[in-house]
Amino acid sequence: MAVQKLPLAKALNESLRKALETDPKVLVMGEDVGKLGGVFRVTDGLQKDFGEERVIDTPLAESGIVGTAIGLALRGYRPVVEIQFDGFVFPAYDQIVTQLAKMHARSLGTVKLPIVIRIPYGGGIGAVEHHSESPEALFAHVAGLKVVSPSNSSDAYWMLQQAIQSDDPVVFFEPKRRYWDKGEVDPEAIPGELHKARTAREGTDLTLAAYGPMVKVCLEAAQVAAEEGRSVEVLDLRSVSPSTSTPSKRPWRRRAGSWWSTRHRCSSGRARRSPPGSPSGASTTWRPRCCGWAATTPRTRRPGWRRSTCRVSTGCSTPSTARWRTEERREHRDPRVQDAGRR
């Protein structure tokens, strides 16, 4: 395949095709993925080319689909499961959180479950209830899972292959609102790391951090801001969890009584109660401002550690009074916090 301008859905199709060609253990399974080619045509033509035993039409039973994938992964396969719409994932939630996320730790590393769960998500296509959810936060806070979301065709092509090659379970959120947006895909390019953010637009006055379908919205907002004389940086987080440090080099700035660093909207266009990302990686507190969220003074969040809780770790992984006091004393030595206190 040469460099082409492809819709995001077609980029995913090519990515799956490449994965099926490369590794005979890769399977694609889900509702209507075979004969129909998927309701969004992401799996179009794959069953015809690779057969019914590798591209499998499943019954309408999400819990069973994920459970079957777990069984196949235990036997050495690399299942790529499609959940037809975001709102349909909830019957499978127990299988994903209780079994898929925890099996590796439960077996002390003996068992690997290299499963990708593809989920079209987000609003903006005029769909009804159950078809416009944003459930990524429900998975982002589960240790053992990796949660990613591409925002463009190139990332969709490469990130899906990287997710399939990963030995960890990956929940792959596909922005359905962007399925028909075209972007260049270069099959010879060197892809970025799966869990690393990228700077989509450089800027100096403000940073917008987003993932999935909202990256395009933020880029459009940054363009409008540029026409008004403001320089806005846009970060594409790419990985919801685990997330690495964002590449923004812009320092915290004080503006109108509060510290500003990032303003973020969730994929459905409504302001979130809390920003996405790894709960251990977040380093700001947020408050509502002008239909978005603005960072206030940079504080350190100290949730539980990113691991499944067992009998021994319950006491250690839960934030304790002593731990909070330790962090509190450390923050009081933080010059940024001291500076804010003087203003």
Write down the least CB distance from residue 49 to another protein, Å: 29
Q: What is the contact mask toward another protein in residues 167 to 206, using x (rule: CB under 8 A)?
A: xx--------------------------x-----------
57 binds another protein per the rule CB under 8 A = no
Among 299, 305, 336, 337, binds another protein (CB under 8 A): 305
Give me the residue label for tokens 């350190």.
300
Q: Exactly one of 131, 141, 195, 264 is catalytic; which is it?
A: 131
90 binds another protein per the rule CB under 8 A = no
Cβ-based nearer residue to another protein, 104 or 250: 104
Evaluate whether 210 touches 173 at the Cβ level (below 8 Å).
no
Rama region for 144: left / alpha / beta (φ>0; ψ in -120 to 50; rest): left
Write down the least CB distance from residue 99 to another protein, Å: 15
334 binds another protein per the rule CB under 8 A = no
Q: How many residues of this chain bind another protein (CB under 8 A)?
A: 35
Site residues for another protein, 93-112, by CB under 8 A, read 104-105, 107-109, 112
Q: Write out the two tokens for 98.
A: 């209780």
Write down the least CB distance from residue 15 to another protein, Å: 19
Cβ-based nearer residue to another protein, 329 or 343: 329
Write down the least CB distance from residue 311 to another protein, Å: 8
Among 13, 207, 248, 278, binds another protein (CB under 8 A): 278
Among 322, 333, 342, 343, binds another protein (CB under 8 A): 322
Cβ-based nearer residue to another protein, 253 or 325: 325
Q: What is the contact mask toward another protein in residues 127 to 166, using x (rule: CB under 8 A)?
A: ----------------xx-x-------------------x
- Helix H, strand E, coil C: the string for the chain is CCCEEEEHHHHHHHHHHHHHHHCCCEEEEECCCCCCCCCCCCCCCHHHHHCCCCEEECCCCHHHHHHHHHHHHHCCCEEEEECCCHHHCHHHHHHHHHHHCCHHHHCCCCCCCCCEEEEEECCCCCCCCCCCCCCHHHHHCCCCCEEECCCCHHHHHHHHHHHHHCCCCEEEEEEHHHCCCEEEECCCCCCCCCCCCEEEECCCCEEEEECCCHHHHHHHHHHHHHHCCCCEEEEECCEEECCCCCCCCCCCEEECCEEECEECCCCCCCCCCCCCCCCCCCCCCEEEECCEEEECCCCCCCCCCCCCCCCCHHHHHCCCHHHHHHHHHHHHCCHHHHHHHHC
Write down the least CB distance from residue 161 to another protein, Å: 14
* 141 part of the active site: no
Write down the least CB distance from residue 218 to another protein, Å: 24
Enumerate the active-site residues.
131
Residues at the interface with another protein (CB under 8 A): 104-105, 107-109, 112, 114, 143-144, 146, 166-168, 195, 242-244, 278, 280-281, 305-308, 310, 312-313, 315-317, 320-323, 326
